[in-house]
Structure 1
Amino acid sequence: MKKAAFLLFMTFSFCGAAFAADISVSASVNSNVISLDDQLELSLAVSGGGTNLPDMQLPPLPNFTSHSAGRSQNISIVNGRMSSSVNFRYILAPRAPGKFTIPPIVLEYEGNRYKTEPIEVEVLARGKAPQSSRPEQVTAPGGQENKELFITATVDKNTAYVNEQVTYTLRFYQAVRLLSNPQYSPPSFAGAWTEDLSSGNYSTTVNGRQYAVSEVKTLLFPMRAGKLSIGSASLKCRAETSGGSDPFSDDFFNNFFSGGGKTVVLQSEPLSVNVIALPAAGNNAAGTGAVGSYTMAATLDRNSARVNDAVTLTVTVSGTGNIKTLPAPVLPDWPDFRKYETVSSVNTDKAGETLKGSATFKTVLVPQTPGRKTIAPVSFSFFDTAAKKYRTVATAPLALEVSPGVAAGEPAQAGKARQEDASNGITVVTRDIRYLKPITDWQGAGGYVYSKPWFIALNGLPLLLLIAAFGYTRRQARLSGDVAFARRTIASKTARKYLKQAKSLLGASAPLEFYGALSRALLEYIAHKTNVSPDGLTLAALDGLLSARGIPQEDRQQIHKLLEECDFVRFAPAKI
């Protein structure tokens, strides 16, 4: 309990920090073409990583009559990261037909100046119906047009070659606040190599309704021909219950602190991709399995060496594709060299939603004969999906100057040795054989060596090492077989890791991540100590766990209060 009290003290010591967050502003309209009989809906949005977002005011618009249609706030949580936005809706009634420009709307906040892009609007004469021109609006899947929460899953291609990149995208649409972190269960990608991309957040309009969208992307590389089946993804969350046309008008405290809201489980539709086998033989490039677009280069770590010296050949394959599964290039037969095993390393980059990078292959070569040697080009073949054919790239030939080495057992020349001695300032006085004479009474200087304390201690060292090894082995065996013991062992270390993370966020303008790290430190510590999962651990269940283990009520109340304060800062809107 002393460790728990220490962690509690460390956690409370951070809770008074103040933060600031970068923001962005945007403006949008529900249509760029309306008639004089219609009204225009203008939305102003302020988004940022914090919860204390400023208000945005509409300037005078001489060509429109305007009035406010309400204010709403959205807080979204994806993978433990929170972002918030405040939306201001205005109804604009045009005064006359024509083409007008809604000027940039400026917001000054904490010494910085933000502004929206201008918006062009065309107002037609009365009685003229504008063509439908709602730009870039998403259509919700069947049966979900009026849903407050829904998810969609898509792939960027329905047909792909073996080992060709396919991008799977899951989007979570929310029009109400969440009262807890969503629990995402990805689908099954059996039969494909996967690489996760970073998630993203943005806002969009679906059937005239504003949604905050969280996007998760996964790169898939099918490993065999046939049908690649992608299962259903699921997402479980607890959201507030909307009580009117404005989904953000409910009282936050009533939902959050009274355990209100509703639990929603969302599932995406399963998908499939038709995977085509790579073209068969008829090209000597077939058979490597590499797919994408690549270049190749080779270098030697030196330009000259002696016979039997080790020289490192480095071959680098760079480009776009499944870098991690690239095979090592086949080295040609070099009769003048002895080759050793190739060692590889991979460096990947997922920027731009495409897997790219480089694979490096290092091979040690040992020249066997002297002379000027040429390292013949190394080639590498791959299937180019854009051109739908195999391509082969090759390195440039490399030159190596090999000089004769010193033969085994060959003595150094005496004249050369004498010359080196003279150059070092050593004068040879005489040369003769000096016999070694043993000391017959060497033990008289300090007694026999086996009677020395250090010798006795040294003999006991193997026994101590054996005892230590036995203890270490037993501990490792218990850690492997006793999950509860293993979790109790790492409880303090895990909590310190999150506290260190929170300390680093103290002045980094990241309040949500800061309080999330504090909450995680305490929950992870208690969960490890009690051998329960920290996910979905409610305050009531937590109090029951602590009470069952004899934790005093005063300590339980402190823990309860701390977690409530952290959740309040993380989930509460900037203004109620």
Structure 2
Amino acid sequence: MVKRIIALLLLGLMAQSGSVLAALTASVDTTSVGPGEPVQLSVRSDREVSGEPDFSVLEKNFEVLDRSQSQNISIINGAMSRETAWNLTLMPRAGGEQTIPSISLAGEHTRPIKIKVSDTRTKPAAGSGDSIFIETRWDKPSAMVNEQRILTIRLYRAMDTGSSSLTEPQSDNAIIRKLAKDRVYETERNGRRYKVNERRYAVFPQSPGDLVISPVQFQGRVPSARRRQSPYSMFDDFGIDMDAFMGRGKPVRVWSPSMRLQVSDIPAGVDPDKWLPARDVQLMQRWEPTQPDFKAGEPVTRVISMLVDGQPVDQLPDLNLPLPAGIKHYPDKPVVNEQVTEDGIIAIREMRDVLVPEKNGVYHLPPVSVQWWDTQAGKMRTTKIDEQTITVSGAPASAAKSNPSATTQPTPQAATDRPVVSPADKAAASALQPSSAETGVTRGRNLWPWLSLLFALLWLVTLGIWWRTKRGAAGRPVQKSPDVEVSEKQTWQALLRSLQGGNAAEIETALVRWFDSRYPGRSISSIGHVTALLDAEQDAALIDELRKLERYRYRDDSSGVYQPRALKPLIEQWRKKQKKRKQQQPPESGLKPLYQSS
């Protein structure tokens, strides 16, 4: 009996000692992996524990892609045992020998495990039979500072990868812009079919030397080698990888090779501030109206457009637009546009300047030029608009107002409140004058009282007529001509119809005609004239939309349908505002004075 009790105690102590020694263990599925291949780590505890191990120690050398936990309870010969397992998918952050450090839980520790990771530089060449690989290619092997180079990156996949991602190229010494959308197609390499995703980038080096762009990384999941144990293996016969679709399968990462480009400095003797490498540079000029008749005091809009093939808009230089004395100008904020194609970036800047000649004469507008480096010919070029000569004729509008004709303006009344005597009154007065034969001191004295009475009567008559005219003018508000009113309503309805139709050319024509009907004396013939009439602050949104319409008309592909969704409510709001402002103004009483008294 005593021996039996001693044996049981020894077995219990051995079991307890074994469980302590094997309380927390760690193991991996392999100790040697290739670049982009993960490691499966399993941490197990055969004791009942609370919490979980401290896995933060793994983050220095590994990235945790996936983590799961499971428990297993078994009863053997009436004895119950419990096991808890943590399964982690680790991706090495670098090549060479990496160490999975000791992991602790409740005072227990696992042993470190060493993993050998093949360096990415020893990876077989792309296209040698890999299921997934990345190729990179430059359009040219070298470039100059700020010159556009096209980088093409192609991802080849011979299998489904489920949800996957491809990082973007990055560099601290270059501006990198993605071009257009990805191209997706299929091709064959070494008798194997691949699905290809192709991306193109415009790269602008910012400093001379060896430009290095960090490798891009592909991340996805591929079917596991133990496919038949998958619960979704029944879909394999239909060509559907449900493991990848459900986020299962083996995670995989692939890196591209390093991308290098030799960059040359700006040529000697070239001003860095004027350095503009491009494939083509164009300067274009147009006027609004198209063939302007320059008159003193009347505005004409000058539009200069600069097109640069091979640069983004933020790299375009400022143009110097000098003007001769005697011409005032009111420049608008430049409008920029960028066209992104598979072959690179084209930047466009449009500068609008309203010119107002102050007086008649011949004016010479200096040439406008821009220097640039021709990347195809390898030399400096100058693109320019030649000197423009304009002839200004016609009386200034301000002169007509400040020097009115005596036949069109009322004669100011004298400061003594005496009535203005008309020529008829003067004739009547002269008819009553005595002849020289009858002139005498005595008779002259007798006529003066009668003449005074006559002039007094004439003064009263003139005063009465003036009072009736003044009263009638004050009682009647100035009405617009019926023809003008009907014309404004008709052109407004035509504008609404054109806005509903969506044709940009018809909208522009109807818009100009409507504004011209509202301002009959302004000779409005273009959108530039319309924007000059609007308030730059209060009507900023409307001005911006009108310029969008104008830019659309200026484009080569203006045959498409213009969408005036924003223009219609803005123009309706402006018309209502103008009507309300007119109703709030007091009625006019006759002509406004030429000069306001202080």
Is this a same-fold pair by TM over 0.5? Answer: no
- Structure whose CA Rg is larger: 2
* Larger helix proportion of the pair: 2
Please give the range of the TM-score, normalised by the shorter of the 2 chains: 0.3 to 0.5
Using the size of structure 1 for normalisation, the TM-score is: 0.44
Q: Which has the higher contact order (CA 8 A, sep 6+)?
A: 1
